[in-house]
Copies of this chain bind each other. A is one copy, B any other.
């Protein structure tokens, strides 16, 4: 297969990221290549070795989130074209024949541990936990006989020849991870009425009100903020960039207006894309901020400039 039909993802095989990727219809016709890290998955796209990369960006039980946010903020620009939400539930994977009573040692990604802590305390209070480099790696180590059981996605069982002894394990009721499909910059897809726009900002000065002004810009344009995350810029502790998602599509006037305002306000800004919301919730648009409202205001300004209106 060619690079154009290849998608990379945060591996190894059998991770939740792979499961998320397989929910995309086009995944069936693509070559899916696991990579050892988020940067590696994204770099393959940058280098032209793959058309897209699916990586976790929010609330992951496999890590990688900070790496994703930071990688999208630096290096060669990439854009987000799709998001996938995947409910996270663990299975306890064992070699065929193993029973709960046989389990003395368990493994899994350190980030998964808090999600299964409650279940472990109740059902396997004596079991020893040791960390693995990923949930799928844990499954591999069980296959190799190093541990008795591993927490991983149920879908990883087949890959490693294991059985899911217990399924649907998750301490939080609502553990969902958000993944994004990224690619090289291109024209955003047409708006669907239920879109999301992502940007990264670097504030001009380290002055108290800078972030406030950014949020004010969104509020003034009637654009709802969905996520805001501060990330160290690498220029020292206390120096941050902000990764933001807002409702709406860059081709909508209120979003475009807010983005232009941010462009003027900030030292730097990176547009990460406008793409359909996985939850398909339509944006709420405040009175005075619809596209026709913006057009009427522009018409009125023109009339004032021409002396034809007041």
Contact = CB atoms under 8 A, between A and B. Distances in A.
Interface of A: 36-37, 39-40, 58-59, 63-67, 70-71, 77, 79, 85, 110-111, 113-114, 117, 129-134, 137, 172-176, 178, 185-188, 204, 208-209, 211-213, 215-220, 222-230, 232, 234-238, 240, 250-251, 256, 259-261, 263-265, 269-272, 279, 286-289, 293-294, 296-298, 300-301, 304-310
B188 A36 contact: no
24 contacts: A37-B113, A39-B113, A58-B232, A58-B237, A63-B63, A66-B111, A67-B110, A71-B114, A85-B237, A110-B134, A131-B134, A175-B234, A188-B305, A208-B218, A211-B215, A212-B215, A212-B219, A217-B220, A220-B220, A228-B230, A250-B304, A250-B305, A263-B296, A264-B293
A301 B250 contact: yes
Given A79-B307, A131-B137, 17 more contacts: A36-B110, A70-B114, A77-B310, A110-B133, A176-B237, A178-B237, A186-B307, A187-B305, A204-B288, A208-B222, A208-B224, A211-B228, A220-B261, A229-B230, A256-B301, A260-B300, A261-B297
Contacts of A260: 294, 297-298, 300-301
Contacts of A234: 172-175
Contacts of A227: 230, 238, 240
A212 B216 contact: yes
Contacts of A176: 236-237
B263 A297 contact: yes
Which DSSP category, helix, strand, loop or mixed, fits chain A's interface? mixed
- Most B CB atoms within 10 A — which of A70, A113, A220, A237? A237
A229 B237 CA distance: 14
A218 to B, nearest CB: 8
Nearest to A304: B271
Contacts of A113: 36-37, 39-40
B265 A307 contact: no
Contact of A39 (B114, B188, B250, B264): B114
Contacts of A64: 110
A58 to B, nearest CB: 7
Nearest to A273: B310
A211 to B, nearest CB: 6
The 8 A-B residue pairs whose C-beta atoms are closest, nearest first, are A187-B307, A131-B133, A77-B310, A260-B297, A263-B297, A172-B234, A264-B288, A186-B307
A301 B140 CA distance: 48
Contacts of A70: 114
Nearest to A253: B264
Contacts of A129: 36
